Amino acid sequence: MDSDTIVKVEHVSMKFNLSSEKFDSFKEYVIKSVKRQVSFDEFWALKDVSFEVKRSESLGLIGLNGSGKSTMLKVIAGVLKPTKGKLTVNGDIAPLIELGAGFDMDLTARENVFLNGALLGYNRAQMEEQYENIVEFSELSEFMNIPVKNFSSGMVSRLAFAIATIGTPDILIVDEVLSVGDFRFQEKCEARIQRMRDNGTTILFVSHSLEQVESICDRIVWLEKGHLKMFGDAEEICKIYAES
């Protein structure tokens, strides 16, 4: 693997057993095994997908709902292990998958900044340094000592975005997060993503807004029902995708 490649996805497949969701308890499991009701409905969320991303390139993932975009991102982020295939990542990942996932609703915003920072692998001293920056960007300075459970969803995502985009991670994963928050804040976020991109961060971007994808990404992976339909230059694929 040459040093230019930051993410390499080779023949990745991801299988879910739909039946594993169906029982929660041992009793149910025993009863259903005796009755032979444990059927294994297989569902392939991803099937034999391969592509690679070069350093400081940004990649968009497009496709309809349920085409496997988020599953792909979760595989890259290391949350899911692929059933088959191989994944190589050469760098730090700052995941933005669903903003606010790392928040504890009972803690104050301030305490959550440190908890969330630690989730991303920053220590306390580094977070102290970034704290002002986060408060300023999220525009929540009056609310930092209030438990997050009293926040509106827009406020939560502002805070989460501000935390996830501190520093310069090698890879930033953005999963439809720009659809939350008001118009002005969306612009602010987009500007920040652009700036990180200029500083050499690789962006992995999922959105249903083709405009956003086109303005941020160089290359595009187009998924359809778990299969890789197309992989290539952003402009070309956006054109084809818009027409389909």
Partner 1 sequence: MSKYINNFLKFQPLLSELVARDIKIKYRRSVLGVLWTLLNPLFMMIILSIVFSNIFKFEVENFPLYVLSGQVIFNFFNDATTNSMTSIISSASLIKKVYVPKYLFVLSRVVSSFINLMAAFTALLLVMMATRIELHWTAFLAFIPLFMVVGFSLGVGLILAALTVKFRDIMHLYSVFTTGLMYLTPIIYPMNILPERIKQVVMLNPLTNYLIMFRNLMLDNTLPSWSSILVGIAEMVIVLILGVYVFYKKQDEFILNI
Out of 5, 38, 87, 97, the only residue in the binding site for partner 1 (CB under 8 A) is 97
- Smallest distance from the beta carbon of 218 to partner 1, in angstroms? 25
Out of 98, 139, 170, 224, the only residue in the binding site for partner 1 (CB under 8 A) is 98
How many residues belong to the site for partner 1 (CB under 8 A)? 35
Helix 124-138 vs helix 153-164: angle between axes, to the nearest 10 degrees?
130
Contact letters for partner 1, residues 56-75 (x by CB under 8 A): ------------------x-
- Is residue 27 part of the contact set for partner 1 (CB under 8 A)? yes
DSSP tag of 143: G
- Is residue 31 part of the contact set for partner 1 (CB under 8 A)? no
Q: Which is nearer to partner 1, 86 or 239 (CB)?
A: 86
Tell me the two tokens of residue 24. Answer: 């929660």
Strand partners, 113: none
For residues 9 and 48, give the distance between their C-alpha atoms in angstroms, rounded to a whole number: 10
Largest CA distance in the chain: 60
- Is residue 106 part of the contact set for partner 1 (CB under 8 A)? yes
For residues 201 and 89, give the distance between their C-alpha atoms in angstroms, rounded to a whole number: 14
- Smallest distance from the beta carbon of 239 to partner 1, in angstroms? 33
16 CB-contact burial (10 Å; exposed 0-12 / middle 13-18 / buried 19+): middle
Closest residue by Cα to residue 7 from 46, 48, 55, 45: 55
- Smallest distance from the beta carbon of 47 to partner 1, in angstroms? 18
- Smallest distance from the beta carbon of 108 to partner 1, in angstroms? 9
Out of 16, 44, 131, 231, the only residue in the binding site for partner 1 (CB under 8 A) is 16
Closest residue by Cα to residue 98 from 190, 174, 165, 186: 174
**Interacting residue ranges for partner 1, rule: CB under 8 A:** 16-17, 20-21, 24-27, 29, 74, 77-81, 93, 95, 97-98, 101-102, 104, 106-107, 111, 114-115, 117-124
